[in-house]
Structure 1
Amino acid sequence: MDLPFVVATLTRRGLLTPGRPIRVASQLGALRKWGWSLTGELRQAAARDPGRTAVIDDTGAELTYQQLLDRAERLARAMRSALGVQAGDRVGLLCRNHHALIEAIVAATVLGADAVLVNTGLSAAQLATVAEEQQLRVLVHDDEFAERVVGLPAEVQRVDERTHEDLVAGALPGDLQPPERDGRTIVLTSGTTGVPKGARRPTPNGFGPLVSIIDRIPLHARDTVMIAAPIFHTWGYAALQVCFALRATIVLHRRFDPAATRDALVTHQCQALFAVPVMLQRLLDVPPPDPRPPLKVVAVSGSALPGGLAPRFMDVYGDVVYNLYGSTEVSWASIATPADLRQAPTTAGRPPHGTRLAIMDDDDQPVPDGRVGRIFVGNEMLFEGYTSGARRETHDGLLDTGDLGRISSDGLLFVDGRADDMIVSGGENVFPSEVEDLLARLPQVREAAVIGVEDPEYGQRLAAFLGLHPGETLDPEAVREYVRHYLARFSVPRDVIFVKYLPRNATGKVLTRELRRYYG
C-alpha cells in the first residue's frame, strides 16, 4: 500500500495528531517491539492514552487502557506459572462480550499461545469435538457454560470467571518479553452445517489493513464504539482490533438486547456500532431513541443484508449503515457505503483500497459484468489455512470465497449466495437469496429465509420461511403471486411456511439445517 495514501488516511481519521513526545515515542516503541498483533495494539494504546477508558461493560467494569493492559499481563504471567501455558499451546475462549474475554485473548497471545475463539452457540458434543481437534490446553469460559464443559477431556484445564479473577489477583511479578513465536488467533467457521473448522488468522504487518477499513468506513481516533457483534466471530474480533488501533472507548454487553443496546448508544454517546444485520432489524422492532445518539457509523457484516433493511434503518437513524462483505477466510472483500445502499439496498459495495476482486467461471476465467460467477478475493489478510491442514482454492493470489456473485456495470458487487446453496429446479438454476431479498421487501415481513428442498418431479424446489411483524398476516398464495410477478416461474416457492422467528446462530446466520427438519 502506497505511503501517501496511508499517511493521508491516518491523518484524516485523527491518528497522526500531535501528542506528548514521550508518549508518542513509547507508542511507536510498543509497535516496533510487539508488532501489530492485538497485544501490540493494546500496548500502543496504553502508551499513548493510558488514562483513556478502554472498555465499559455490563458487568460494571470500566477500565482504562493502562488498567486493561495491566490485568491482561497479570493474567498472562499467572497462566504461565499456574497453568503452564507456553508458546505454541492453544487456549480456548468460550465467553460472551465482556472485559475478561479481551484480557484472556491478549494474555494468550502475549505468551505466544494461540487463542481459539469458540462460538457460544456450540452444543456440549460440538465443544468436546472442538477441544479435541484444536488440542486445547486451557478453556476459559463464562460461568453460564459450566454444564457444557463438564464432558471435556480431563487434560483441558478450565478457567471460570472466579478462577480468572483469582489468577489476575494472584499473579507473581515478572517481566514479559515478546515470545519466540507469535500467538495466532483461531476463529471457528460458523458451523451452520456441522462442527466448525478452525481458521488461522494472520497478524497484520503494518497499517495497511486498518487503513483499508477506515478509509471507507469513517471511524476516528478516540471514538466511543459499541461492539454488539460477538467477539468470537471474525467481525466482532476485527472490530476489537480496529478499536484498539483507534484508542477508542469500547462498550460491550454480554447479550444483545435491542432496547438495552438502543439505550446504551444514548447513555454512552456512541459514535459507532458494530453489529450483524439481524441486530438492525431487532433495533427497528423497538421504539427509536429520543434523542438520537450521535451515530456516524453502523457497520454490519457476518451474514447477508436483507433487501430493504438498510434504507429502513437509515430512515430512522440517519445515513450511517456500512455493509462489509467478507468471510473468516478472506477477512473483507468489499464495503458498501450509505450512498451505495441507498442506490442498491442489496449491494455488497466495492473493494476497498488494496483489495482485488474477480468473478470467475468454472474454468477460472473472468466473466463479463453482470454475469454470475465465483467470487475470488485478494488482500493482506487472507487466512493462513485451516488448522486441519485443509486449504481453499486459489487463483493468481486470489482466494475462492465459496460464494457466487456478479459485478454491475457501475462496479457494485452483488452476492447471490453460497455456491452450494444454488439449486436446480426443472433444469433451471435458482438462487434462493434472490427470492429472500424480494420477500424481505414485503411490508408484513420481518425476516425471510428461502432454501432448496428435494422434489420428486423437479429435482428440487424452493421453500420460503417467513417471520411476520406482530399483528400482520399473509396468504401463501398471495406470497407466491407476488414472487411470480417479479421473478421467473421457477423462482416461485412452492412451500410458504410462517414461523415466529428464524433459527439463527450467535452471529445471525440462519440455520438451514433446522429449517430442513420441517421435511423430516
Structure 2
Amino acid sequence: MITPFVVATMARRGLLVPGLPHRVVQQFAELHRWGFGLAGELRQAAARSPRRVAVIDDTRSLTYGELLDRSARLATALPIVAGNRVGVLCRNSVAMVETLIAVTSAGADPVLINTGLSAAQLAAVVEAQELAVIVHDDEFAAALGDFPGGVPTSAFDAMIGAVPSTTLAPPARTGRTIVLTSGTTGMPKGAQRPTPGGFSPLCSIIDRIPLRAGVRMMIAAPLFHTWGYAGMQIALALRATIVLRRKFEPAAALAAMRENAVTALIGVPVMLQSLMELPADVARPALDIAAVSGSALPGGLATRFMDRYGDVIYNLYGSTEASWASIATPADLRAAPDTAGRPPHGTAVAVLDFDGRGVPAGETGRLFVGNEMLFEGYTNGTARELHDGLLATGDLGHVDAAGRIFVDGREDDMIVSGGENVFPAEVEGLLADLPEVLEVAVVGVPDDEYGQRLAAYVVLRDPAALDADGIREHVRRNRARFCVPRDIVFLPALPRNATGKVLKRELRR
C-alpha cells in the first residue's frame, strides 16, 4: 500500500522525478514481478538507469545494466537450486554484490558469513546452517578445509563467460537472506531476514537519513553485517553508485571518497573514530551524510567528528533481529551526543520493567521494538521474546523528556555490585571522554566480597599520559563509588571482530 507518507518521502528524495515513459513503466513492472528484494531492486534500477555506474571496487566498476547481465548469468552458472543455503564468505567487492543478487535471483538463501570467523567457527556454521555451497574469496580457501562445495570468486569471469546472456524469470520461491549474529558472546546464530513488502521500509530510513536518488555512497561497513547489507539494499533502491573497498583503511578510504565524489558514508562507529586519528588538515571529501550503526558511539565522538566534518552524523540503533529501532540526527546528537535518537516512521519502541510494565521517562528498563522488518526467527527454530508484538532487543535503556532514546547497556552486561545495579557502558562513556584515552571497554568480573566488580581495559594515546589511579579518580569524581573500576588493564588495542565490536569475552579471559 502506497501511503501519503511514502509518496511525500519518495518525492523529497528524488525518486519520483519524471523519466522516459517506457523506462518508468519497465521499472515498476520489474518491481511487480520480482518484489522488493535484491533481485527486484537491481532490476528496477537497471530498467530506469542501465548506464549509471552501480558499483566500484578496488579493481573495476559495473553499470546497472552490466551488473544485471553478470548476476543473471552467474545465477545460472552457480551449482545451486532454489531452496539451497549458500554461504557467502567475501570481503566488500563487486563479486560479493554479484553473488548476493545471483543467489537470491535463483531462489536460494544467501548466508552472510563474517570474514573474521575462525576455521572452527566456520566449520560449525557450515554444519548448523546446512550450507550446500560457499562462494568465497581466494584468501579464505584454506579456512574451508575439505568442504566440497567451495566456489572461488576468482572463477566468476570464466563461469559467467560460459553462459549466454539470459533473462531470468522470477523463481518459484523468494530467496531469503540469513544474517549471522555477531558471535561476540558465543557461536553465531542465523537470523532469517524478511523481504521488504513495499516502499515503506526504505522510506522509514530515508525520511530520517536524507539519502537521495543517485547518491554516490561508500559502504565501508562489511556487507555481511546487517548495516552494510541494509546500505546495499538502500543503494539499489535509490539507483545509487556504491563505492567499496576490501578493507577499511582510513587514509585510503578518504582518498577513495574524494576520487569518486562520494557524499554519503555507511559505516560503523569505530571507522569514524579511526578517521579522527588522521591529521586534522588531511584533505577531506565533501560528505553530506555519515550514517553509522552496529555499536554505540564512544563518548564525545559525535561532537568531535561533526566539529571537523560538519553536522553529518546519523546514528541508527538496531540489531540483526530488530532491523532498526531509532535514528539520531545531527540535531539530536548536538543536543545529546550519546542518544540513539527517536523511532522513525512506522516504528514503536517501549521501555518496560521486568514484569512487562512501562516505566517513566528517565528510568531504565528493557527496550522492545516493533516495525515491519522484524526478523522471522533463528534458523535453529528459536525466537526472541515478544511483548504485545514488540521484540526484545536485549538492551536496557531509557527515554528522556524530549522523547530521545538512550541505550544504557546490554541486559547481560549489567552487573550487581554490593547490591547496586551498575551499567558498564556508563563508565565506558565517561572514560572515553578523557583526551588521553583512545579506546576503552568496561566489563563485570566475579568478586568474592561484592559478587561482581568492574574491570576497565584501556588503550591510551600515550602510555605515559595517565595511570590507573588517575582513571579511578576521574570516575570517583563523576560517578557513584560502586562505579569505580577496581581493575585497570592497559592494552595496546582492544580485541574486535570484523565489524568493529569489542570482543568482551576475550577481555574476560
TM-score normalized with structure 1 length = 0.96
Indicate which of 135, 148, 154 corresponds to 1:140: 135
Residue of structure 1 in register with 2:242 after alignment: 250
CA–CA separation in structure 1 for the residues paired with 2:393 and 2:9: 28
Matched, 1:456 2:448: yes
Contact 1:224 1:272 in 2 (8 A): yes
Partner of 1:6: 6
Of residues 188, 193, 199, the one that matches 1:196 is 188
TM-aligned CA deviation for residue 472 of structure 1: 5.5
Quote the Cα distance in structure 2 between the aligned partners of 1:292 and 1:278: 18
Distance in 2, Cα, partners of 1:54 & 1:456: 58
Corresponding residue for 1:114? 109
SS in 1 for 2:377: coil
Q: Using the alignment, how far apart are the partners of 1:491 and 1:422 within structure 2? A: 12
In structure 1, what is the equivalent of residue 306 of structure 2? Answer: 314
Matched, 1:298 2:290: yes
Paired residues of 1:262 and 1:288 also in contact (CA < 8 A): no
After the TM superposition, which residues 106-505 of structure 1 pair with which residues of structure 2 at under 5 Å, given as runs? 106-152=101-147, 154=148, 157-172=149-164, 174-288=166-280, 291-470=283-462, 473-505=465-497
2:98 is aligned with 1:103: yes
In the TM superposition, what whole-angstrom CA distance separates every residue of 1:135-184 from its partner, at most 9, and x where no partner exists? 111100011111101143x4xx1111222222112124544211111100
Partner amino acid, structure 2, of 1:133: A
C-alpha distance in structure 2 between counterparts of 1:307 and 1:290, whole Å: 23
Q: Measure the CA separation in 2 of the matches of 1:197 and 1:248.
A: 31
Query: Shift in Å at residue 294 of structure 1?
Result: 1.8
**2:64 aligned residue:** 65
Distance in structure 2 (CA, Å) of the matches to 1:269 and 1:472:
41
Tell me by how many angstroms 1:443 deviates: 0.6
CA contact (8 A) 1:45 1:247 kept: yes
Correspondence for 1:77: 76
Task: Sort the Cα spacing of 1:354 and 1:316 in 2 relative to 1 into closer, same or farther, 3 A.
Answer: same
Q: Summarize deviations over 1:351-400 as a string: whole Å, max 9, x none.
A: 00110010011111111111111100000100000000000010111000
Q: Residues 170-203 of structure 1: CA distance to partner in whole angstroms, max 9, x if unpaired?
A: 1245442111111000000000122100000000
Contact 2:30 2:40 in 1 (8 A): yes
Quick one: distance in 2 between partners of 1:163 and 1:212? 39
Partner of 2:54: 54
Code of the residue aligned with 2:222 in structure 1: it is P
Alignment partners' CA distance in 2, 1:221 and 1:322:
18
From 77, 81, 95, give the equivalent of 1:86. 81
SS of 2:457's partner is: strand
SS in 2 for 1:148: helix
User: 1:279-331, CA deviations, whole angstroms, 9 ceiling, x for partnerless residues?
Assistant: 01100111246543221100000111111001111111111000000000000
- Any idea what SS the aligned residue of 1:446 has? strand
SS of 1:55 mapped into structure 2 = strand
Q: Which moved more, 1:60-69 or 1:282-291?
A: 282-291
C-alpha RMSD of the superposition: 1.2
Q: Deviation string for 1:401-457 (max 9, x for gaps)?
A: 010000001101000111000001111110000000000000111111000011111
Following the alignment from structure 1 to structure 2, what is the Cα–Cα distance between the partners of residues 315 and 446? 18
Q: How far did 1:337 drift?
A: 0.5
For the 8 Å contact 1:124–1:151, the answer to whether it is kept is no
Q: Secondary structure at the match of 1:8?
A: helix
Alpha carbons 1:96, 1:230 under 8 Å: kept: yes
- Structure 2: distance between partners of 1:214 and 1:21: 25
Letter in 1 for 2:141: A
- Kindly provide the amino acid, as one letter, of the partner of residue 212 in structure 2: H
How far does the alpha carbon of each residue in 1:46-91 deviate from its partner, in whole angstroms, 9 at most, with x for none?
A: 0000000000101x11100010111100100112xxx2x1111111
Tell me, in whole angstroms, the C-alpha distance in 1 between the residues paired with 2:334 and 2:458.
Answer: 25
Flag the 1:351–1:140 CA change in 2: closer, same or farther, 3 A: same
Q: Which amino acid aligns with 1:26?
A: Q
Percent identity, please. Answer: 63
Contact 1:262 1:289 in 2 (8 A): no
- More deviation, 286-295/39-48: 286-295
C-alpha contact (below 8 Å) 1:78/1:172 kept by paired residues:
no
1:72 touches 1:103 (CA, 8 Å); kept in 2?
Answer: yes
Distance in 2, Cα, partners of 1:493 & 1:198: 35
1:175–1:17 distance in 2 versus 1, CA, 3 Å: closer
What is the identity, as a one-letter code, of the residue corresponding to 1:329? Answer: E
Give the counterpart letter for 2:370 in structure 1: G
Count residues in correspondence: 509
Tell me, yes or no, if the aligned pair for 1:77 and 1:172 is still in contact at 8 Å: no
Instruction: Classify the secondary structure of the residue corresponding to 2:367.
Output: strand
Q: Contact conserved, 1:330 with 1:401, CA < 8 A, in 2?
A: yes
Q: Provide the C-alpha distance between the structure 2 equivalents of 1:71 and 1:172, rounded to a whole number of angstroms.
A: 10
Q: Which amino acid aligns with 2:236?
A: F
The AA in structure 2 aligned to 1:382 is L
For the residue of structure 2 that corresponds to 1:323, the secondary structure is: strand
Where do 5+ consecutive residues of structure 2 fail to align?
none
Matched residues in 1 for 2:344 and 2:319: separation? 15
How far apart, CA to CA, are the structure 2 residues paired with 1:128 and 1:319? 44
Amino acid at match of 1:269: A
- Give distance in 1, aligned partners of 2:339 and 2:278: 26
C-alpha distance in 2 between matches for 1:453 and 1:103: 45
- One-letter amino acid of the structure 2 residue matched with residue 513 of structure 1: R
| 1:1-52, Cα deviation, whole Å (9 max, x unpaired) | 8711111111111010010001101100110000000110000000000000
